[in-house]
Amino acid sequence: EVQLAASGGGLVQPGRSLRLSCAASGFTLDDRAMHWVRQPPGKGLEWVAGISWIGDRIVYADSVKGRFTISRDNAKNSLYLQMNSLKTDDTALYYCAKAYCSSLNCHFDYWGRGTLVTVSS
Amino acid sequence: DIQMTQSPSSLSASVGDRVTFTCRASQGITNYLAWFQQKPGRAPKSLIYAASSLQSGVPSRFSGSGSGTDFTLTISSLQPEDFATYYCQQYDTYPFTFGPGTKVDIK
């Protein structure tokens, strides 16, 4: 069974950093593109970042470009999101999502359990 | 960025009803359109991809159609477990964008 579980969220002050992890099981991460998507409390979904299967292509939403870094360690079956210079607008539940294929132009087929990031002083 | 709109924003329906809701893209996305279902406190679940292809394991009462800019999701006979919020998403062009959702609740 495919499972994804995000972790690493918490309460952090504006301007500080946080690193999210996504552990994958039930499939081999290294032949799938992966994404992060976030959802502010009570609101809709916003795509954040995506990375191809070997990490040679990475894309970001303008709202996080230059502050967030997506990466992956296929040997550990894990995906990461390094979030720097956090703003209150970054407060959201962060989900990792698996793409159906290895490239970035592909639909999502599984979503993981999210992790809540709260940015507040 | 491609803007996605959905209508209605919410609807009330009864078990057994046939329900249809729509999604519109601000520019053509061929058929690079997905639908997701989200229940309160849960992660989204993939239902439809490529506008009309059913994700593995999704019941056949769900169906999608459309191409270009206009798309629909239909539930042929609403079941109790279908009360949720439904989002469309375009994956034609980065940044990928989602519609604001349609909430389906019990009449």
Q: Chain A partners of B32 at a C-beta cutoff of 8 Å? A: 105, 107
Least Cα distance to A100 among A27, A6, A1, A33 occurs for A33
What are the CA-CA distances from residue A99 to residues A30, A34, A45, A50 (Å)? 11, 6, 16, 9
Per-residue pLDDT reduced to its tens digit, B55-80: 999 999 999 999 999 999 999 999 99
Min Cα separation A49/chain B (Å): 9
Return the DSSP state at A29.
G
For residue A77, the number of C-alpha atoms closer than 13 Å in the C-beta half-sphere is 10
**Mapping DSSP to helix (H, G, I), strand (E, B) and coil, where does residue B91 land?**
coil
User: Which of B6, B93, B96 is best to mutate for the A interface (most A CBs within 10 A)?
Assistant: B96
Q: What DSSP string runs through B10-56? A: EEEE-TT--EEEEEEESS--TT-EEEEEE-TTS--EEEEETTTEEPT
User: Which of B5, B32, B47, B91 is best to mutate for the A interface (most A CBs within 10 A)?
Assistant: B91
Q: Residue A87 has which token pair?
A: 């703003």
**pLDDT at residue A73 in the model:** 94
Better pLDDT: B54 or A103: B54
Please give the Cα distance from B107 to B95 (Å, whole number). Answer: 36
Mean pLDDT, each 10-residue run in order, chain A (121 residues):
94 98 89 96 97 94 98 94 98 97 90 96 95
**pLDDT at residue B107 in the model:** 85
Q: Chain B partners of A100 at a C-beta cutoff of 8 Å? A: 49
- Residue of chain B minimizing CA distance to A112: B43
Please give the Cα distance from B93 to B91 (Å, whole number). Answer: 6
Mean pLDDT of chain B: 97
**pLDDT at residue B106 in the model:** 86
A5 at B interface, C-beta within 8 A: no
- Residue of chain B minimizing CA distance to A103: B91
